[in-house]
Copies of this chain bind each other. A is one copy, B any other.
Amino acid sequence: MAQPLRLGIAGLGTVGAGVVQILRKQAAMLEARTGRQLVISAVSARSRTKDRGVNLSSYAWEDDPVALAKRDDVDVFVELMGGEDGPAKAATEAAIALGKDVVTANKAMLAMHGQSLAEAAEAQNCVIKYEAAVAGGIPVVKALGEGLAGNEITRVMGVMNGTCNYILTQMEATGQGYNALFAEADKLGYLEADPNLDVGGIDAGHKLAILSSLSFGTQVNFDGIELEGIQRVTLDDITAAADMGYKIKLLGVAQMTGRGLEQRMQPCLVPATSPLGQLEGGTNMVVLEGDAVGQIVLRGAGAGAGPTASAVLSDICDVARGYRSPVFGQPAETLKVATPALSQRPAAYYLRLSLKDKPGALAKVATVLGEAGVSIDRMRQYGHEDDSAPVLIVTHKTTRADIDHALDAFESTSVMAGDPVALRIEEV
């Protein structure tokens, strides 16, 4: 039997407490599966006295996570504090400097500093594992980096923020607007301390940046993501999209193209009958596409103590088994700097226009679209509301530039009763 693997756990929120709980409750099972005892040497958190529903008395306590990371009786530093900089990063770097392996759930830290951390870790022959950083309990980092290792990845997509998906699906289910559902999500404790991390798409963007790097052998580049949150998605659009057979999702898409690496996190339409379209509430879904495997869809809880702890345990078990590989699937020094694609691949678009109730308005719209080179696949006009008439259009495949030309041109017509809306329809 190999030596016990000694863990130092920093951060004892619901996830940290969940990890401690599993390590205690399932000690025999984990030892059978990894061939080693998994023991907690020490823990660290902000408050020593808080009741976390789990007995911590047999572990050493460190107020300072950096001191925890440096302890001689810690082989693996388990970082569950969060935050892209500050103590999480300082402690992670301290662990690596001493040649210790790191398990983390910290998507922000990896999205912002993944390359430098990976370089430091690999120089020290350490591993950094982060299954919990992406899509909670879904073992997507493993699926992508190992399960599909024989594939050239062609596209990665995902609904990876449960709060946004909850708000969007509840808008449709209840007929309430964005603000009401945002308030409800807040009341239910679904929002991060800075809600913009959720609804602004930043949290999901962090996850996408990590998956991109794993998929395409590129340095993680969060700033290269075209990012748009769900704050401007209206009930009108959700209803209208449903009427045309679509759902609106905050969808992340990463794809390597001849024009560079395309990374987008934005509200998109997807067919209502597709797996992504059918995803309701806080559940996450990741779609992986490879040249050999075709399309793999993974679905599960994207957050919560149990699912996230499950992912952390998966990494700890891998370390215990001696599974060692480069942080982003190939040596950090070989990861390319990807040029962000300056334009999105062509797609069909959904347009919602509000036209003034006057003769020739619809003809004017058609003319503008035609002049912009945008051709119409389907159009629906609804009964007049007050003095305006809503018009829904699904275009044939076109470029975002042509759509933007059309939107500009609409403004200089006299037939628009409100701002036009244009959303990409992703082929899934």
- Return A394 CB to nearest CB of chain B, in Å: 23
B301–A298 CB distance below 8 A: no
CA gap between A29 and B150 in the complex, in Å: 8
A317 near B146: Cβ-Cβ < 8 Å: yes
Kindly state whether residue A139 has any CB partner on chain B within 8 Å.
yes
Contact between B26 and A314, CB atoms less than 8 A apart: no
Task: Assess whether A138 is interfacial by the CB under 8 Å rule.
Answer: yes
CB atoms of A300 and B306 under 8 A apart: no
Stretch at the interface among A82-90, A231-239, A325-333, A374-382: A325-333
Docked-complex contact B22 and A150, CB < 8 angstroms: yes
Would you call A295 an interface residue if the criterion is a C-beta within 8 Å of the partner chain's C-beta atoms? yes
A296 within 8 Å of B (CB atoms): yes
Interface segment among A163-171, A250-258, A286-294: the answer is: A286-294
Partner of A298, one of B18, B22, B298: B298
Is A137 in contact with chain B by the CB < 8 A criterion?
yes
In the assembly, how many copies of this chain are there?
A: 2
CB <8 Å contact, B26 and A152: yes
Query: What's the nearest-Cβ distance from chain B to residue A406, in Å?
Result: 36
A314 lies within 8 A of B139 (CB): no
Docked CA distance A297–B294 (Å): 17
Segment 182-216 of A: residues with Cβ below 8 Å from B? none
Minimal Cβ-Cβ distance residue in B for A274: B278
Neighbouring B residues of A317 by C-beta, 8 Å:
146, 149-150
Interface assignment of A316: CB less than 8 Å from any CB of chain B: yes
Interface: A412 (CB within 8 A):
no
Q: How far is the CB of A425 from chain B (nearest CB, A)?
A: 21
Give the Cβ gap from A217 to chain B, nearest Cβ, in Å: 7
Q: Are B330 and A32 in contact (CB under 8 A)?
A: yes
Q: Which of A34, A151, A217 has the most CB of B within 10 A?
A: A151
B contact residues around A312 at 8 Å (CB): 150
The answer for the CA separation of A231 and B410 in the assembled complex, in Å, is: 60
Interface membership of chain A positions 301-317, coded 1 if the CB is closer than 8 angstroms to chain B and 0 otherwise: 10010110111111011
Are B131 and A314 in contact, with the CB atoms below 8 A? no
The minimal Cβ–Cβ distance linking A136 to chain B, given in whole angstroms, is 8
The reply to whether A32 and B275 contact each other, CB–CB distance below 8 Å, is no
Q: Is A223 an interface residue (CB 8 A)?
A: no
23 pairs from A and B in contact (CB 8 Å cutoff): A22-B150, A22-B292, A30-B149, A32-B330, A35-B326, A35-B331, A137-B293, A139-B146, A143-B143, A147-B314, A149-B317, A150-B310, A150-B312, A150-B317, A278-B278, A290-B310, A293-B301, A293-B307, A294-B301, A295-B300, A321-B324, A322-B323, A323-B323
Chain A positions within 8 Å of B, measured between CB atoms, are 18, 22, 26, 29-30, 32-35, 131, 137-139, 142-143, 146-152, 217, 275, 278, 290-301, 304, 306-307, 309-314, 316-318, 321-326, 329-331, 334
